[in-house]
Amino acid sequence: MSPDVTPMNLVQRFQQNFVGKDDSAQIIIQLIVPVSESCMVFTRSPAGGGVAYNMTQQNGFWALAINGASGENGNNGSPSVTVIFYVFASMVLSPSRYSAAYYDANGVMRWHAEMRPLEVFQASADGVGGGSIDTAFTPAVSSKFSGLAVISMLPGTPPVYYWGSFAWRAYGKNLSSRPLSLWTTTSSAYTPWNNTSVYYINAENYD
């Protein structure tokens, strides 16, 4: 019955507040997962709002490059945005003194009874803020950027474009794509895009 591969499971859960954060500078959060292991991260915001991040590497470990945080009222981190992070990886943390464990043929521990495996769901919604998904439970979402779009355009010479970047967020029992940052420019050089696919978990299984 010894498994040969460790499935992804919860290895880290933490909470962090972001204040006055926009996407002009990154905040790097180093995780406990070595870059040699697979890693997937989900987030939820108990009071609304959310973050967007990119996966990066730092000191031989996976890290989160937080590109922006936006409150429920749309302000960048004002007064603050509270985010809970759920980190899953294909690695085994040391169990407590008493636990049932499985080992592979080489004597390497691959699983123990205190581990909580990743159960991930997938859904679709408009990545530029046009949809909301009711999950019927408290979800946490893979908080990647979900779209880039022109919010409005003021005619003129030159015209003024009002752009917005969007990111997935989880609040209450819903998933939605919301504006993360907004800016104006006279250039139309940005390329709009829309990611309709969203990945999420039932956070109630991991809290």
Mean of the pLDDT values across residues 16-23? 70
Q: Which residues, in sequence order, are bridge partners of residue 112?
A: 101
Segment (H or E) for 81: strand 81-89
How many Å apart are CA 62 and CA 59, to the nearest integer? 8
- Give residue 1's pLDDT band: very low, low, confident or very high (50, 70, 90): very low
Structural domain boundaries in the chain: 9-91+100-112, 121-205
pTM for this one? Answer: 0.87
How far is the CA of 104 from the CAs of 4, 5, 37, 97, 110, in angstroms? 5, 8, 17, 20, 7
Q: How far is CA 121 from CA 18, 42, 44, 199, in A?
A: 27, 12, 15, 6
Strand partners, 134: 174
> How far apart (Å, rounded) are the C-alpha atoms in residues 143 and 51?
6
Our measurement of the distance from residue 121's CA atom to the centroid of its chain's CA atoms, rounded to an integer in Å, reads 14
Please give the structure tokens belonging to residue 117: 């495996």
Q: Which of 132, 172, 187, 196 is nearest to 46 (CA)?
A: 172
Condensed to tens digits (0 to 9), the pLDDT of residues 120-147 reads 999 988 888 777 899 999 999 997 788 8
* Alpha-carbon span 153 to 53, nearest angstrom: 28
* Of 126 and 72, the one with more pLDDT: 126
Average pLDDT, the chain: 86
